[in-house]
Structure 1
Amino acid sequence: MVKAKKPKPITCRICKSKFSPSLSTQIVCSTSCAIQHGKAQSAKQAERKAIAERKAHREKKADLKPLSHWLGMTQRVFNDFIRLRDGEVCISCGSRAAVSYHAGHFRTTAKAKQLRFNEDNCHSQCSACNTHQSGNIGPYRINLIEKIGIERVEALESNNESHRYTREELEALRAHYRQKTRDLIKQREGV
């Protein structure tokens, strides 16, 4: 006959005392420790459920927001990147002493929605040129040709493909430009 092996002593998960389990699945030493362990597991499960419910609620609220909300959030992150990339200099008039700078689009977002997040189409521009002179397009085009070349400017001018952004696409773009902004800041700090 084969003798049954005596189980090795293990540590109780609740009171931390050593005991020899009578079952292979036993993890606590006594009934009182089992009750405490059950209460702790129930509390953990309730917390996991509450976290899942909060996450589902946030996602549901996010789904109710219109596409324009996501477009605006992405546009802000993109514009921050453009202003950081170009610095405080206007592509149209060359001003370096303006009160504020915008991310001015060569082809407007109203006329060319597909170019809204195209880096060739958007450059730092003083508020006077962007707002009061409707982009000051004549000098903008001349300086844009000097900056990126005639081929890329003509590619912008001839791009008439329509595009409708999705929420997922806007979230990906926002994450992309946040990362590019962080990378540019690190690069300039010399880190």
Structure 2
Amino acid sequence: MAKKPKEYKCKICSNYYVKTVSSLQKVCSPKCAIALSKAQSRKKREMLEKQERLATNQRMKALKEKLKSKGELTSEAQSAVNKYIRLRDENKPCISCGRPLVKEQFGGGFDAGHFRSRGSAPHLRFYTLNIAGQCKKCNRWGGGMYDQFRIGLVERLGAEKVEAIESDQRPRHYREDDLRRIKQIFAKKARMLEKRRKG
């Protein structure tokens, strides 16, 4: 008794057929072959269009990044540093008043306060030893609470380091690429801290 030929399911109409044209045959009839060809062409076109959209988006993103002003880049770098400081100092006491720094508290958590302010010492704006978690009351409404900030910083870092921060007048000239790198470095550090806490 002859063996019954193997049947395959048509990719288009789902009817069963026996391969008669070639071992690569995927459909049961010329009509389904045309439909399959159209479907594959449409799928290929959609894939190419998606790739083109992604490439265009990447070009636009790169152009927007290139056109950013130094002020915008400085602001983005500062935001990345501040986010890292808030993650680093979460659940520690406020550097000035000792109140626990809780991320989810009323009023949106706490700030990354600068011991030497960005206005008086812009060269230390990204220096992490000059920045500490500070409650909003002390940072915003208490004018930074400089004297209490200093006491808290001496307790954390020691008098020698605090004096070094106070006397640091070395100029730092940040180019656009430096600011982008600072943003990238501190965004990565923040992600690592978040990952460590979740894991």
TM-score by length of 2: 0.66
Q: Which runs of 5+ in 1 are unaligned?
A: 1-14, 18-38
Equivalent residue number for residue 96 of structure 2: 92
Q: Which amino acid aligns with 2:140?
A: T
TM superposition shift of 1:162: 2.1
Q: What is the root-mean-square deviation of aligned Cα atoms in Å? A: 3.0
Q: Which amino acid aligns with 2:75?
A: G
Q: Is residue 68 of structure 1 aligned with residue 77 of structure 2?
A: no
Q: Which amino acid aligns with 2:164?
A: A
- In structure 2, the CA distance between the partners of 1:61 and 1:159, relative to structure 1 (3 Å rule), is same
TM superposition shift of 1:54: 4.6
Q: Which of 182, 188, 193 is 1:179 aligned to?
A: 188
Q: Which amino acid aligns with 1:176?
A: I
Q: Which runs of 5+ in 2 are unaligned?
A: 1-21, 25-40
Moved more, 59-68 or 79-88: 59-68
Equivalent residue number for residue 82 of structure 1: 85
TM superposition shift of 1:78: 1.1
- CA deviation map 1:83-109 (0-9, x unaligned): 111114310001127743100000001
SS at match of 1:125: strand
Query: Percent of pairs identical after alignment?
Result: 32
Q: Which amino acid aligns with 1:92?
A: S
Q: Which amino acid aligns with 2:65?
A: A
Q: Which amino acid aligns with 1:178?
A: A
TM superposition shift of 1:160: 1.0
How many residues matched?
Answer: 158
TM superposition shift of 1:60: 2.6
User: Take 2:49 and 2:95, find their aligned partners in 1: how far apart are those partners?
Assistant: 57
Q: Which amino acid aligns with 1:71?
A: T
Equivalent residue number for residue 157 of structure 1: 166
Whether the 8 Å CA contact 1:74–1:171 is kept in 2: the answer is yes
* Aligned pairs (5 A) from 1:46-57: 54-57=57-60
Whether the 8 Å CA contact 1:113–1:162 is kept in 2: the answer is no
Q: Which amino acid aligns with 2:79?
A: R
User: Take 1:45 and 1:181, find their aligned partners in 2: how far apart are those partners?
Assistant: 36
TM superposition shift of 1:47: 7.9
Which runs of structure 1 show a deviation greater than 6 angstroms over 4 or more consecutive aligned residues?
A: 43-50
- In structure 2, the CA distance between the partners of 1:181 and 1:48, relative to structure 1 (3 Å rule), is closer
TM superposition shift of 1:111: 1.2
User: Take 2:164 and 2:157, find their aligned partners in 1: how far apart are those partners?
Assistant: 11
SS at match of 1:65: coil
TM-score by length of 1: 0.69
User: Take 1:58 and 1:183, find their aligned partners in 2: how far apart are those partners?
Assistant: 25
User: Take 2:183 and 2:23, find their aligned partners in 1: how far apart are those partners?
Assistant: 49
Equivalent residue number for residue 147 of structure 1: 156
Q: Which amino acid aligns with 2:181?
A: A
Q: Is residue 129 of structure 1 aligned with residue 138 of structure 2?
A: yes
Equivalent residue number for residue 59 of structure 1: 62
User: Take 1:139 and 1:66, find their aligned partners in 2: how far apart are those partners?
Assistant: 36
